[in-house]
Structure 1
Amino acid sequence: MGLLFFIIFAIVGLGLWLRAREKRQIRVQDFAISSIPNFNPEVKYYGLAGGGKGLAIDPISKRFAILNGQGGSKTFRYSELVQIDAVRNGGSMLQTRRGNESGATAGAVGQGWLFSGDTRSQKRKRESVNKLSLKIYTDDVMHPVHEIVFFDGKAKSTDREIEKLGKEIDEWYRRFRTMLAE
């Protein structure tokens, strides 16, 4: 009985600790955003808990910010964006470059980039997903590539969490694709 109580206590404690860590990251990144002059983002992504990079977009000033998990940030004008890639397990599935049409690798259609094979079929190949991210390429000579991770773990491509994250990444990808078109 004592061991069961200890296990339950440990699980609840770990959950509370993870939630507090996530809230701290949100506060730190909100502070970083508030310190950017004349920047009022309409959409934000805070990154993975524990120091992941986040994003914020201010369509009025036509700028976006890449937030590091430690409270710093780097802002870019839309014109400084060079390329955006939606990445699954390290391989680019969708890619758009400034001045070019978007390109998609085999099996990547809309949000279907998350799955392989025929995405319209009811039979989706159950592939393991280890990492989902966006790679943002800018004209910054010192730090041109920024990877924003949405998932880092292990799951099946048909899991609800992965499907939800795939939709979120697709929304962010489309936002950056719109920036490239301006």
Structure 2
Amino acid sequence: MDEQLNAIPDFTPTVSYKSSMCKNAIAIDIEREKIAVLLNPMKLKQLEAKASVYGSSHLIAVEVARDGSSVIKTQRGSQLAGAAAGGFLLGPAGLVVGGLSGAKRQESKIEKLSIKLYTNDLMMPVQEVLFLDFPGGGADPQQIQPILRDLDQWYGRLRVIVESKKNVRA
């Protein structure tokens, strides 16, 4: 994945996330204001996957999904659409782990965690970067704390990009 990210013309990854488990990656070139997404070719039903590169102004929304359902989403026209109550205090990882029920937190196994990037690309408008893909049994939230921290950081980075481009026409 490093080779593929480094081979992108006019793109130098400043920060990147590579998942060997999910076989995908995301990187940001802060200097050139570009985002690169490298998806698992097996998930795309292709022999090989080519990185998709977007200017930061092409990112129109970012969403965190757990087991296929949206947990939190930020888009240019609104702030936090679809966020559960209490999410402002917990952050995306807190929302992912479970809802609040009285004074007790309910947690359940997590099978899939991802960040979806919505772009103005008509051919591939949605890119889903998997952070966890553990079908069948799922993972205990306490055991995947490093993944949840990475997910929080990446949602934060992408949210900053979306928020900073709200008044910019793509």
Counting helix residues as a fraction of each chain, which structure ranks higher? 1
Residue 68 (str. 1) matches residue 35 (str. 2): no
Q: CA deviation at 1:124?
A: 2.5
- Check whether the contact 1:86–1:93 (CA below 8 A) recurs between aligned residues: yes
Identity %, equivalent residues: 31
Q: CA deviation at 1:38?
A: 2.0
Distance (Å, rounded) in 2 between the aligned partners of 1:126 and 1:156: 8
Give the 3 Å change call, closer, same or farther, for CA 80–160 of structure 1 in structure 2.
same
Aligned to 1:114: 96
- Check whether the contact 2:99–2:107 (CA below 8 A) recurs between aligned residues: no
- Check whether the contact 1:47–1:148 (CA below 8 A) recurs between aligned residues: no
Aligned to 2:128: 147
Distance (Å, rounded) in 2 between the aligned partners of 1:137 and 1:74: 12
Any gaps of 5 or more consecutive residues in structure 1? 1-28
2:9 is aligned, of 37, 54, 67, to 37
Give the 3 Å change call, closer, same or farther, for CA 130–107 of structure 1 in structure 2.
farther
Distance (Å, rounded) in 1 between the aligned partners of 2:102 and 2:55: 37
Aligned to 1:160: 143
- Report matched runs for 1:43-58 at 5 Å: 43-49=15-21, 52-58=23-29
Deviation track 1:50-104 (CA, whole Å, cap 9, x = no partner) reads 6x32101011100010013445211000110011111111111110001321231
1:105 is aligned, of 53, 78, 84, to 84
Structure 1 range deviating more: 139-148 or 109-118: 109-118
Distance (Å, rounded) in 2 between the aligned partners of 1:48 and 1:142: 26
Q: Secondary structure at 2:100's aligned position in 1?
A: coil
Q: CA deviation at 1:120?
A: 10
Give the CA RMSD over aligned residues.
Answer: 2.1
Q: What is the one-letter code of the residue matched to 2:11?
A: F
Aligned to 1:177: 159
Aligned to 2:117: 136
Aligned to 1:87: 65
With structure 1 as the length reference, what TM-score do the two structures score? 0.74
Any gaps of 5 or more consecutive residues in structure 2? 41-47, 165-170
Q: Secondary structure at 1:146's aligned position in 2?
A: strand
Q: What is the one-letter code of the residue matched to 1:105?
A: A
Structure with the larger RCO, 1 or 2 (CA within 8 Å, 6+ apart): 2
With structure 2 as the length reference, what TM-score do the two structures score? 0.79
Residue-pair matches, total:
150
Distance (Å, rounded) in 2 between the aligned partners of 1:88 and 1:126: 13
Q: CA deviation at 1:107?
A: 4.8
